[in-house]
Amino acid sequence: MKNTRRQFLIMSAAGAATLSLNNLAHAQAMVAETDPQAQALGYKADTTKVDTKKYPKHANTQRCDNCALYQPKGAAAGGCSLFAGKQVAAAGWCSAWAKKA
Ligand code: SF4
């Protein structure tokens, strides 16, 4: 009985550790410019590479890290509510950019 409980606790701890690692891996995955959602929004990891003919309102001063939807998670990347479970580049941009208040 005692052994079973102990085994259960060990298994639970192992499961929790695996889940944490999975979450970490998801948190660190970067959005690729080739992702369908990224393509639909004209996302670029480098704002200076944005096609200004296609997006005439774009300016190089517009970056993910000064966008209202950006959730900083370090100097180089952060979360964005449009790309759940992935990270966008701090220096990135997409057509949904909105000035941070
Ligand atoms: Fe970057 Fe803002 Fe577009 Fe998200 S909505 S990808 S933070 S510019």
Structural domains of the chain, ranges and CATH numbers in brackets: 28-89 (4.10.490.10)
Is 17's pLDDT higher than 80? no
- Name the pLDDT band for 25 (thresholds 50, 70, 90): very low
φ, ψ at 83 (rounded to 5°): -125, 75
Q: Which residues of 23-40 are buried (b: 16+ CB within 10 A; e: fewer)?
A: eeeeeeeebebeeeebee
Which residues contact ligand 1 via a Cβ below 6 A?
A: 43, 64, 67, 69-70, 80, 82, 88, 92-94, 96-97
Given the CA of residue 65, which atom of ligand 1 is nearest to it? 7
- Of 97, 98, 80, residue with least CA distance to 88: 80
Is 65's pLDDT higher than 70? yes
The two three-digit tokens of residue 65, written as one number? 């890290």
Q: What is the mean pLDDT of the chain?
A: 84
Question: In percent, how much of the chain has pLDDT > 90?
Answer: 71
